[in-house]
Amino acid sequence: MEKQLSLFELSEENIQYPNKSVYLHIRKELRENEVKLLESAELLNLCPIEAWTAVGTNKDLSYLTHGAFRYFGKFPPPIASYLIQEYTLKDDLVWDLMCGSGTTGVEAILLNRFCNLNDVNPLSRLISRVKTRYIDKEVLENAMQRIINNYKPLTKEQYWVETLENINYEHWFLPETINSLLGIKYLIDQEENENVKEFLLLVLASTVRRVSKATTQQGRLFLDIKTACEDAVPIFIKKGKNIIGGISSLPKDSNDRVNVFGFNLKNDLPTEFYGSTKLVILHPPYFNSYKYSSINSLEMSWLGYNHAEIRKEEVREFFKVGKAEKVQFYVEDMITVIRNASKLLKKNGILALMIGDTVIKREHIKVTQQIIDRLKHDSDNILSLEKIALRVPKYTEASWVASQRRKSNDIGINLYDYVILFRRK
């Protein structure tokens, strides 16, 4: 007997807004262990230093559309909100040049700013567009219901997504899961409204990892076949319900406040944008940490993106390589990125760079210090070092990170990260 699936009515409980339990805690006085860390990183005494902690449970921090997609290494909303409020005014323009999952765009909307988001990764651009675009709840519910009413699993012979050939799809998905996802993807491709179609693609993207054989607990892809689901539809429905609540609760003028671009920051940006903003945010992948074209390769392949081609556009971060000497290439790319990004700033504008060091085979790789030092001696540099904020993880986050470290070789361990504030001269 066939199951009749329907989309349940949304309630206000599906929508969580920021409250007093979500905020950025700032300390002017550093603790002894923090001083030692900064000494090891060779960052002490360069400029004023603070300690920042984004406070709030994962559920609290997933308000509005922030929880629409499980994005590893996401830019913390309280930090985005603080930077926007501290360095811009109402209706000012903010740039986030490596926008990831669009955190800055959501916060800019809530704070009545305009925002230009940018990322070389098309999945990031899709997530960012959907998370910052208001669409009426009834329109989204009807689109989901059409998928549910017309769904049937499809075989590879009936319909196929060519980019799945770029991953070992039979390794990562059960045969039944593949057929189920194909049935959903086929119906999404029939959607005529482009905004609604992108919403449905985001729902699909947020479903893929959950129903695959890959673990959902960390960015890197490891097999965890116990979590695989043969039928993707119930997860698709659940994800859709969760995302609809946030999108339909965005301010209705959000569509006019955010633009999303796909510039490669290793190339010059269009001169028309020079001197356009008081605030540029940069949150790049960290050296030897995440390669986003790799950790999101399953989602990207199902959406029709070639992750191997996109990898060529990314900053060279040498994910999983574990060779300290490769840091010079990462620093070189980041200097180019920062140099290009700084041109967008108005005089006295702020560039906020969130970045982290790493440990490889027990050696502390001073990535941040190398970037600051290179900028200091760069003849084309137009930035001065304003402040360093040591981002201290809340205890749950810190303990989870510690549990993921590979003790044997200490390859790619991340330390506390930093928000480096530069001011345009």
Euclidean distance between CA atoms 92 and 86, whole angstroms: 12
**Pair (123, 143) in one structural domain:** no
Euclidean distance between CA atoms 67 and 79, whole angstroms: 16
For residue 17, being part of any structural domain is answered with: no
For residue 263, being part of any structural domain is answered with: yes
Domain count, the chain: 2
**Pair (221, 325) in one structural domain:** no
**Pair (284, 260) in one structural domain:** yes
**Pair (282, 386) in one structural domain:** yes
For residue 14, being part of any structural domain is answered with: no
Output b/e per residue, 325-342; b: 16+ Cβ within 10 A.
ebbeebbebbbebbbbbb
For residue 301, being part of any structural domain is answered with: no
Which of 327, 300, 321, 312 lies closest to 71 in space, CA to CA? 300
For residue 220, being part of any structural domain is answered with: yes
**Pair (116, 185) in one structural domain:** no
**Pair (90, 147) in one structural domain:** no
**Pair (144, 130) in one structural domain:** no
Locate 87 and state its tokens: 């360095």
Instruction: Give mean pLDDT in consecutive 10-residue pieces for the chain, a chain of 425 residues.
Output: 39 56 92 94 96 91 94 92 96 97 97 97 97 97 97 97 95 97 98 98 97 84 85 97 95 94 96 98 86 87 92 73 81 95 98 92 90 93 96 61 43 73 97
For residue 4, being part of any structural domain is answered with: no
CATH classification of the domain holding 407: 3.40.50.150
**Pair (190, 62) in one structural domain:** no
**Pair (235, 88) in one structural domain:** no
Give the range of the structural domain holding residue 265, as residue numbers without chain letter: 24-134+256-295+308-424
In 301-373, beta strands by DSSP E:
345-360, 363-365
**Pair (407, 261) in one structural domain:** yes
Q: Which contiguous run of DSSP H or E holds residue 303?
A: none
**pTM, whole model, 2 decimals?**
0.91
For residue 13, being part of any structural domain is answered with: no
**Pair (377, 268) in one structural domain:** yes
**Pair (275, 337) in one structural domain:** yes
